[in-house]
Every structure is written in C-alpha cells, then in structure tokens.
Structure 1
Amino acid sequence: MPKVRHYADLVTVLSGLSWLVVFWSVSLTAQMGSIEPTLAALLMLGTLILVSFVHRPTRVLLRRYHVRKRRTEMWMHILALPLMLAFLFGIVIENLLAPLNGEQKMLLFNVFATAGWLVFVVTVLIKLAMHLTRRHRSHGSKSGAGS
C-alpha cells in the first residue's frame, strides 16, 4: 500500500508540474507573440498522456483510486482556487489601480496556480513525513515488545 501512495503522489506532482508548464507557456506565447512555447508545452503534455495510455503498467497504476484522489486534490490546488483568487484579485486591482489586459490576468492566474502547486507539494511532503514517522514508530514498538 505505501508504494501505491508514493506513486500516486509522484504522478500527481508531475502532472501538476506539466500543467503549470502549459499555463506558463501560454503567458510566454502572449508575451513573445509566437506560438512555439505553447506548441512545445502541448507536445510535451501530449507525449506524457500518450505514454500513460499506451504503456500498460502505467495505465494499470493510473486507474487506482489513490491516483485519482490525489489528482482531484491537485486540480483543486492548481485550477479551482487559483481561478477564484485571480478573479477576485483582478477585480480589486482593476477597481483600485488600473485595468488589466488579458496577458496580465493570465499572469495573475499563473502566479496563483504556481503558489497552489507549491502548497500541494508541501502538503504531500508533510503527509509523507507523517506517514513515515508513524510507520517507523509502529515498527519500533513491535520490535521492542518482542525482546
């Protein structure tokens, strides 16, 4: 069971990172005026998705409950909350300072999405540390009782 948990965490962290690359590439594309960054990011994402569907061991592992559960948590961190925060902060900034154009709104979303992904990674690391500590203590008490 722990290997499935670690694999689910790794898959979701990498999945979130790959989506962040796509989000930031859209901002870079808007800034540069060229579509190459977005095309490269989408090609990378498409390759990862293709490998996950074609490679049988990966496909079997990705169907497990823990991966889907972790992915839902990751989406909440990099999409749902950042969209809401970017919308609210965008309204406040536009009313108090100056109007924002599309590039600036996308940049605001990207900053929140990156912060949300970092919070997700820190949460995963804290959960991992707590799980390892708990497992270490339970193994230590079992070996100490048998002596």
Structure 2
Amino acid sequence: MREFANLAEVAALQGQEIGVSEWILIDQARIQQFADATDDQQWIHTDPVRAAAGPFGCTIAHGFLTLSLIPRFFETAFRIRSVRMGLNYGLGRARFPAPVPVGSRLRGRFTLKSCEPLSGGGAQISIEVSVEREGSDKPVCVAESLTRQFE
C-alpha cells in the first residue's frame, strides 16, 4: 500500500499512478451474493451448468459487481494519512471491456486525474480506476471514480 501524508502530496501527482490494490478472488459464492443482493439472477452469472454451454464456458461476474469493488480496491491501494473522512461522490464514464470469468482474481490500478480543493477544506479527487484480471492484458472495468476527501 502506498501512503501519502496529505492531499497536497497527492495533488502533485496529477496524471500519475498513485496506487495498485491487492488481488480479490471472484468466486461463485461472491457472484451469487451479488445476484441475491441486486435481484439480477441472469443465468450467465448464477447457473454454472447452463453457463458452461454459453459463450464464456463458465459463469461470469456482473459488470456492476466489478464496479462495486472499487471502494474495496481503494482500501488496499493507497492511504492519505491526513484524511479523516472520505465520501463516494459519483462516477464518470464506466465501461466493461472484458468479462470476469468465475475464479478470476482482480485488482485496481489508480491514476490521479485531478485533485480540486473544496470550500471548507478537503478536496474532490477524480481517479481513473482500471480493474485488471490476473493473466489478461485487457482491463475488465475502466471507470472514473469521484470522491470527496476531508482532512
């Protein structure tokens, strides 16, 4: 995990990679839990037998499951010691260029796009998150994450 003393230290790295998370395993139990939480029970995600005969040869994770892991990736990629609270503010463009087959390991790679001061303290940070699948050269998700960080 990469550590920064404060927001000013992060802001100086615009356009640069600021962290890479640990790997997370995407097993069938995690996919099923997401399907249950969102009521998205499409067979390509939840039926291993039917999915084996489908286009990917196995079940695949929901794109939104992959997207929802971004906050978890943040936790192991970098930390700003002076920040007392952070809030998800939203997402910019998000896309899913490749599927996530069951059994895949994923991690997030974070590149700082901008770090803009907020009135009253703190900053709004825009980060491009590229979610990688171990063994693949194509990302499975690329999204702009917007957070507000308060010192």
Larger Rg: 1 or 2? 1
Please confirm whether the aligned pair reaches a TM-score higher than 0.5, indicating the same fold.
no
Return the structure number with greater helix share.
1
Q: TM-score, normalised to structure 2's length?
A: 0.23
